[in-house]
Structure 1
Amino acid sequence: MTDTALRTLGWDAERDAAFASYAARGLTAGRVGRVDRGRFEVLVDRDGALTTVHAHARTSVDGFVEDQPATGDWVALDADVITEVLPRRTLIMRSSAGKSSAGQVMAVNVDTVLIAVPLEREAKVAQLERFVTVAWQSGARPLVALTKADLVDADEAGLALTRAQEVSPGVDVVVVSASTGEGLDALRARLGTTAALVGQSGAGKSTLVNALAGSDVMATQATRQDGKGRHTTTARELVALPGGGVLIDTPGLRGVGVHDANDGVAQSFSDIETLADQCRFADCAHESEPGCAVRDAVETGTLAERRIVAYRKQLREVERETRAKHRARR
């Protein structure tokens, strides 16, 4: 499959090898480009060009009901039926709404999780921290885009950039404007082969997708007068970018819950984890213990108190979810 058009979507030698047994059975390789209410649009190679197949999933496959195909999946098709899902390299999950311990798949097989944060209104720092945790847990690399830079002055943008960098240690943060083109080249250079775009409603995600794609591939709406976003994107959709690579747009979220994310929390709060290694006691709770490097950092002003609060909150959320999963298993 050396010359397959799927290579523009990220197909490579490793996936070629993984698909060999399915090819021998006469199945067709494809990538899920859109999932909407149980219906799947799959991009396949037809005579060297990408073609969309409207497919459905064969639920008799072992484990398939619990692990439905998601946007970004590489699959094997028998005519218009998805029969197999190739192994996933990364998986973006968030907690489901309500009390369920099950998670919700946002996108799979991405290199970069692009987190859109609007500059024209005050950023919700705690929400950004949660998105960063979800991104690290996925196995992909987080990337923060501070959008709508044309709507604020340079001082406001600089302050927001500093704040975002403080709460996203080890993460690239880029100030962008889809309208003027500011920062778009820097963003493109960091996207990787497949990027998933996530963020709150009204963050300008669809406008950013159009700017990166070079055409109006996504509908856009103005932000409501009360500052809350509108849900322009209603389904997770894969968009091919000029020159190769893809961007997966996801619906805007009012909030995001961390799911099964111990490793993600540790990476998201790597500043605290690094300090914790210097505490006198290995089981230090960072409250009133002597020789606590974390409390010392707070008292000297090198670590914000709210970072500790957010860190503990996310850990408690992960612990609650773990207990709920154990109860569900029993």
Structure 2
Amino acid sequence: MFHKDNLKSYGISERFLQEATLYPDLVLGRICSQYKDLYKAVTPQGEVFAEVSGRFRYGASRLSDYPAVGDFVMLDRSMDEGGNAIIHQVLTRKSSFERKAVGMEQETQVVAANIDTVFLCMALNQDYNLRRLERYLSIAWDSRALPVVVLTKADLCPNLEEKMAEVSSVAIGVDVLVTSAMSGDGYGSIRSYVQPGKTVALIGSSGVGKSTLINRLAGEELLQTNDIRKDDKGRHTTTRRELLVLQDGGIVIDTPGMRELGLENADLARAFSDIDRLAEQCKFRDCSHRSEPGCAIQRAIQQGTITRERLDSYLKLKKEAGYEGLTSKQIETEKINRMFSGMGGMKNARKFIQEQSKKKR
């Protein structure tokens, strides 16, 4: 049996404790780091190295079925005695930041699981890229966690106000925070998101200052950092995903740099809410927003309300996610069908949701 108070600092909640009671002979833990096929998990008695069971491996049909950093799992032991612990079950995720797995067609990789907030980090030097930020936001909104844009290295930006205005124009409904490696400005507002028992994942390219940010929040050098190179690009320091508990109780997940994120699923309705609203005003319901008469989006471009680059980014991401030609409602249906593809699509999705609702009563 486990003691829930021992895992409280690692973000355990009643939701996971209730699900864990389905496995009375196993021990609850949370994945803190991953080394290829080996994991490190924290348990009520401390940390253990762990691997998935043969049965688990046989039953996993997708890469995303495997444990990821931030997952709550059920293990056969809470100590290292007798070798590595064995992971038998991954508890239902409340959120997950996912990307298309590199070099693996139609496979999704979970970057971080059970997160409350996603810090989308972008440096205000050569790393600055609005189109990449739109991609990050599309995935972050789909993760079911709260996205927050964190602009780093403000001391290297000669036109900060202009860049802030550009970022705000694409990060609709999202807080935008600014930090500088040369001062403590901005860290107070960032710290407000790092609360006891809450998990924050930091996502961004190599060298944008994620490790520096974590060290500043922790008040100590938890992670190795390097100065930026002479070509204004950051040096890569983090080599694996790692979950850390800060002294004040906040939980952070540091991730290796990702300049490119392959899109598997995305919430374009929220990431591009301005375009989504305009699309409802188009003359034709199946408007492609390219050359049709009465296109509200093309009219907005002519009026300078949105940029053509933003529309091109929206259409590109829509095509990449397999949503081309679909309306917002049709996209949501398609996402549910994909999620339950092995269970009969939308029909069984409704049945599953109804069953889950009954369990919560």
Deviation of 1:252 (Å): 0.3
Q: How does 1:31-50 map to 2 (within 5 A)?
A: 31-46=30-45
Other-structure match for 1:267:
270
Q: What SS does structure 1 have at the residue aligned with 2:75?
A: strand
**Aligned partner (choices 48, 53, 74) of residue 53 of structure 1:** 48
Alpha-carbon distance change, 235 to 122 in structure 1, aligned in 2, over 3 angstroms = closer
Other-structure match for 2:245:
240
Deviation of 1:230 (Å): 2.6
Deviation of 1:235 (Å): 0.5
Partners of 1:136 and 1:268 within 8 A in 2:
yes
Deviation of 1:296 (Å): 1.0
TM-score after normalising by structure 2? 0.82
Other-structure match for 2:67:
69
Other-structure match for 1:168:
171
Deviation of 1:3 (Å): 5.4
Q: How does 1:107-122 map to 2 (within 5 A)?
A: 107-121=112-126
Question: Which whole-Å CA distance do the structure 1 matches of 2:262 and 2:229 have between them?
Answer: 24
Question: Which whole-Å CA distance do the structure 2 matches of 1:166 and 1:320 have between them?
Answer: 23
Say whether 1:217 aligns with 2:243. Answer: no
Partners of 2:206 and 2:256 within 8 A in 1:
yes
Alpha-carbon distance change, 299 to 162 in structure 1, aligned in 2, over 3 angstroms = same
Code of the residue aligned with 1:89 in structure 2: it is K
Deviation of 1:234 (Å): 0.7
Percent identity of equivalent pairs: 39
Other-structure match for 2:350:
none
Q: What SS does structure 2 have at the residue aligned with 1:15?
A: helix
Question: Which whole-Å CA distance do the structure 2 matches of 1:246 and 1:178 have between them?
Answer: 22
**Aligned partner (choices 216, 228, 232) of residue 233 of structure 2:** 228
Alpha-carbon distance change, 120 to 209 in structure 1, aligned in 2, over 3 angstroms = same
Cα deviation digits, residues 220-257 of structure 1 (max 9, x gap)? 11223333333211110001123223110100012112
**Aligned partner (choices 190, 193, 198) of residue 190 of structure 1:** 193
**Aligned partner (choices 315, 319, 323) of residue 318 of structure 2:** 315
Alpha-carbon distance change, 223 to 248 in structure 1, aligned in 2, over 3 angstroms = same
Cα deviation digits, residues 133-172 of structure 1 (max 9, x gap)? 111111111110001223335xx22222111111111111
- The two structures, once aligned, show a CA RMSD in angstroms of 2.1
Other-structure match for 1:298:
301
Question: Which whole-Å CA distance do the structure 1 matches of 2:186 and 2:250 have between them?
Answer: 18
Partners of 2:4 and 2:17 within 8 A in 1:
no
Question: Which whole-Å CA distance do the structure 2 matches of 1:200 and 1:208 have between them?
Answer: 14
Q: What SS does structure 2 have at the residue aligned with 1:21?
A: coil
Q: What SS does structure 1 have at the residue aligned with 2:321?
A: helix
Deviation of 1:38 (Å): 1.3
Other-structure match for 1:14:
15
Code of the residue aligned with 1:18 in structure 2: it is E
Partners of 2:139 and 2:265 within 8 A in 1:
no
Cα deviation digits, residues 103-155 of structure 1 (max 9, x gap)? 221011111111111123361111111111111111111110001223335xx
Code of the residue aligned with 2:302 in structure 1: it is E
Cα deviation digits, residues 68-127 of structure 1 (max 9, x gap)? 110000011112111111110111111122361212210111111111111233611111
Cα deviation digits, residues 183-210 of structure 1 (max 9, x gap)? 1121122346111100011101111111
Other-structure match for 1:4:
5
Partners of 2:71 and 2:90 within 8 A in 1:
yes
Question: Which whole-Å CA distance do the structure 2 matches of 1:3 and 1:17 have between them?
Answer: 11
Say whether 1:106 aligns with 2:105. Answer: no
**Which protein has greater RCO, CA pairs closer than 8 Å, 6+ apart?**
1
Code of the residue aligned with 1:101 in structure 2: it is Q
Deviation of 1:270 (Å): 0.9
Alpha-carbon distance change, 145 to 197 in structure 1, aligned in 2, over 3 angstroms = same
Partners of 2:3 and 2:44 within 8 A in 1:
no
Partners of 2:227 and 2:235 within 8 A in 1:
yes
**Aligned partner (choices 107, 130, 136) of residue 141 of structure 2:** 136
Partners of 2:127 and 2:233 within 8 A in 1:
no
Question: Which whole-Å CA distance do the structure 2 matches of 1:298 and 1:188 have between them?
Answer: 38
**Aligned partner (choices 243, 247, 254) of residue 249 of structure 1:** 254
Q: How many residues align?
A: 314
Alpha-carbon distance change, 191 to 272 in structure 1, aligned in 2, over 3 angstroms = farther
Which consecutive unaligned segments of at least 5 residues does structure 1 have? none
Partners of 1:223 and 1:229 within 8 A in 2:
yes
Question: Which whole-Å CA distance do the structure 1 matches of 2:214 and 2:91 have between them?
Answer: 27
